[in-house]
Amino acid sequence: MSEARVLGIAGWSGSGKTTLITKVIPLLANGGVRIATIKHAHESFEVDQPGKDSFMHRKAGASEVIVSSPRRWVQMHELGEQPEVTLPELLQRVSACELILVEGFKSRQHPKLEVFRRSLGKPPLYPEDSHIVAVASDSELRGAAVPVVDLNDLEAIAKMIQRQARPLAEVLGRLSSR
């Protein structure tokens, strides 16, 4: 398997980043691409349910909980008062794959595809962020200094993602030099 390639999916809240990712993943996966995702959350969040064993283990004080079944496994780390794990640390923990899509981490210095919706009333990010390498937009962006693809053209977005994703080692080098 070749080295994983990385591309962030960035945009304002409500721009449709998660929707786009969940629509484009099947296209890429059906083409034989093994994909991992990293999602940045801004607040405390729960992935296990109250009353379940994993929840009770974590609430009891376990700093790490692994839940395994014949169909899947998940690993949870409880940080407590420790600082948030960095994007490079997370990228290094991803299992072998061909493509890593990173949702969020908008201000980090990794290559990103911006999801832009004019209807949100917010300015595009790409003019101020040199790490945005392409834009998926619901409107024409004349004079954009990066490639722009129609937000509704999932095939074109999938191709753009594959074209713009950068090798993991290159992304880690870029992130660690900051």
Mean pLDDT of 126-145: 94
pLDDT band, residue 95 (cuts 50/70/90): confident
Mean pLDDT of 56-60: 82
Mean pLDDT of 70-93: 86
142: which DSSP letter?
T
Residue whose tokens read 């994983």: 4
- Residue of 105, 101, 111 whose CA lies nearest to 174: 111
Q: With beta carbons less than 8 A apart as the criterion, state whether 134 and 149 touch.
A: yes
Q: CA-CA distances (angstroms) from residue 154 to 49, 51, 133? A: 34, 40, 17
Q: pLDDT tens across 26-48, in order?
A: 999 999 999 999 988 766 666 77
pLDDT reading at 14 higher than 60? yes
Instruction: Report the CATH fold assignment for 5-47+84-176.
Output: Rossmann fold (3.40.50)
Residue-range domain boundaries for the chain: 5-47+84-176
**C-alpha–C-alpha distance, residues 43 and 116, integer Å:** 23
Mean pLDDT of 3-18: 94
pLDDT reading at 146 higher than 80? yes
pLDDT reading at 61 higher than 80? no
